[in-house]
Structure 1
Amino acid sequence: MKDDRKISGADRRALILERLKESADPITGKSFAAEANVSRQVIVQDVSLLKAKDEPIVATSQGYIYLKQESEEAVYRHIIACNHTSEQTWEELTTIVDHGVRVSNVIIEHGVYGDLTASVRVSNRKEVDQFIQRVNETNAAYLLELTNGIHLHTLEADSMDKIEAACRDLEAKGILLQ
Structure 2
Amino acid sequence: MDRKKRLGEERRQLILDWLKRSEGPLTGQQIAEKMNVSRQVIVQDISLLKARNEPIIATAQGYVYMNEKESDHPYRRIIACSHSPQQTQEELNIIVDHGVFVKDVIVEHPIYGELTASLMLKNRRDVQQFIDKMTETKAAYLSDLTGGIHLHTLEAETEEQLDEVCETLEKASLLLSKTE
- Distance in 2 between residues matched to 1:157 and 1:16, nearest whole Å: 30
Offset of residue 69 of structure 1: 2.7
Q: 1:147 to 1:99 in 2, by over 3 A?
A: same
- Residue 165 of structure 2 aligns to a residue whose secondary structure is helix
Instruction: Give the count of matched residue pairs.
Output: 172
Identify the residue that residue 123 of structure 1 maps to in structure 2.
Answer: 122
The runs of 5 or more residues in structure 2 that have no matched partner are 1-5
- The amino acid across from 1:52 in the alignment is A
Identify the residue that residue 3 of structure 1 maps to in structure 2.
Answer: none
Identify the residue that residue 62 of structure 1 maps to in structure 2.
Answer: 61
Identify the residue that residue 3 of structure 2 maps to in structure 1.
Answer: none
- Distance in 1 between residues matched to 2:73 and 2:46, nearest whole Å: 29
- Distance in 2 between residues matched to 1:149 and 1:56, nearest whole Å: 29
- Residue 81 of structure 1 aligns to a residue whose secondary structure is strand
- Calculate percent identity across the aligned residue pairs: 55
Q: TM-score, normalised by structure 2?
A: 0.92
- Distance in 1 between residues matched to 2:66 and 2:161, nearest whole Å: 23
Residues 100, 161 of structure 2: 8 Å contact kept: yes
Q: Deviations over 1:105-160 (max 9, x none)?
A: 00000011110000111010000000000110111100111110000000011111
Offset of residue 73 of structure 1: 5.5
Identify the residue that residue 12 of structure 1 maps to in structure 2.
Answer: 11
Q: Deviations over 1:33-86 (max 9, x none)?
A: 111121111111101111111111010000001111328965211000000000
After TM superposition, what 4+ stretches of structure 1 lie above 2 angstroms from structure 2?
A: 69-74
Does 70-79 or 136-145 show the bigger shift?
70-79
Identify the residue that residue 159 of structure 2 maps to in structure 1.
Answer: 160
- Residue 106 of structure 1 aligns to a residue whose secondary structure is strand
- Distance in 2 between residues matched to 1:122 and 1:97, nearest whole Å: 7
* Root-mean-square deviation (Å): 1.4
Q: 1:172 to 1:72 in 2, by over 3 A?
A: closer
Identify the residue that residue 97 of structure 1 maps to in structure 2.
Answer: 96
- Distance in 1 between residues matched to 2:14 and 2:155, nearest whole Å: 30
- Residue 119 of structure 1 aligns to a residue whose secondary structure is strand
- The amino acid across from 1:117 in the alignment is T
Q: 1:73 to 1:31 in 2, by over 3 A?
A: closer
- The amino acid across from 1:68 in the alignment is N
- Distance in 2 between residues matched to 1:149 and 1:173, nearest whole Å: 15
- The amino acid across from 2:168 in the alignment is D
- Distance in 1 between residues matched to 2:88 and 2:136, nearest whole Å: 15
- Residue 8 of structure 1 aligns to a residue whose secondary structure is helix
Map residues 4-43 of structure 1 onto 2, 5 A cutoff: 8-43=7-42
Does 61-70 or 149-158 show the bigger shift?
61-70
Identify the residue that residue 113 of structure 1 maps to in structure 2.
Answer: 112
